[in-house]
Amino acid sequence: DPRPAAVDTYFKAHLHSANYHAVLETIHSHSLVAGLPDIACSPTQAKFLMLQARMCNAKHILEVGTLGGYSAAWFAMTSPDTKVTTIEADSGFANVARQNIETAGLSQRIEILEGLGTTVLQSIREEVQRGLREKFDFIFIDANKQDNLAYFNAAMDVSKDRAVIIVDNVVRNGMVVSAEEAEKDDRVKGTRELIDVIGKLKGIEATAIQTVGEKNYDGFLIAMKV
Ligand code: DHB
Ligand code: MG
């Protein structure tokens, strides 16, 4: 179906001004040239997430899964004093992201922490507990889906009251509803485990929204600490 991509093109043409665009498009194209998989958020998705962060007046954003730094660069557009901390396990991806962020002139506002998500988040937990690091007000989880629950639990620990936590790729072409798919695909399993837990947690309001567009049929989970 060509319509979702055509509609994204239309919305980008009309709603995405040139302010942001040169720098972000450079990051996207350089990431592809460097051989990274084409799995970053689309421009309309990334701007949607940035606007959500702006609506929260987010100043300290945490991202799990940097890839080439595309969404991190968008998050840096939240406000001139917003700081982004982004975690990447793949050293090749992290190198590309560092180059991209440097080229974009965003190194002062985007901190790339290289290492396994669970390991780096444990260090962040300890820093937060010791008062060495501020709690985050907005967290985007977009890394290996098998560890979604661990990332979410860490996100709960390192975020402020009323923080917003968004998780990418919770629909996966509709596979999320299938226990059978989950048995075959760890990524679906990881997301289903997370959704089970969030549904029973106190102190959080959540829903999920399905998306179409230039990327495949997928969706975001959005949760808020209440
Ligand atoms: C995959 C991962 C993502 O974060 C995404 O947005 C799309 C696809 C993947 O691992 O296939
Ligand atoms: Mg994703």
Query: Domain extents for the chain?
Result: 3-225
- Pick the residue whose CA is nearest to atom 4 on ligand 1: 142
Sequence-distant (≥ 6) Cβ neighbours of residue 160 within 8 angstroms = 135, 136, 137, 225
- Please give the distance of CA 23 from its chain centroid, rounded to a whole number: 19
Name the residue at shortest CA distance from atom 8 of ligand 1: 39
- Look at ligand 1, atom 9, and give the residue with the nearest C-alpha: 39
- C-beta separation of 168 from 142 below 8 A: yes
| Ligand 1 proximal residues by C-beta, below 6 Å | 39, 142, 168-169
* Torsional sign, CA 56, 58, 63, 68: positive
Taking only the tens place, the pLDDT of each residue in 57-92 is 999 999 999 999 999 999 999 999 999 999 999 999
Please identify, by atom number, the ligand 1 atom nearest to the C-alpha of residue 142: 4
The whole-angstrom separation of Cα 125 and Cα 219 is 28
| pLDDT tens-digit readout, 109-165 | 999 999 999 999 999 999 999 999 999 999 999 999 999 999 999 999 999 999 999
Q: Per DSSP, what are the bridge partners of residue 224?
A: 164, 205
Q: What is the DSSP string of 65-115?
A: --TTSHHHHHHHTS-TT-EEEEEES-HHHHHHHHHHHHHTT-TTTEEEEES
> Looking at this protein, which amino acid is placed at residue 11?
F
Cα 110 to Cα 101: distance, rounded to the nearest angstrom: 7
CA 173 to ligand 1 center in whole angstroms: 11
pLDDT computed for residue 118 by the predictor: 98
pLDDT of residue 181: 94
Q: At what angle do helices 148-157 and 186-200 cross, to 10 degrees?
A: 40
Instruction: Check: CB of residue 115 under 8 Å from CB of residue 87.
Output: yes
pLDDT at 20 over 80: no
* Closest ligand to the CA of 166: 2
The hierarchical CATH code for the domain 3-225 is: 3.40.50.150
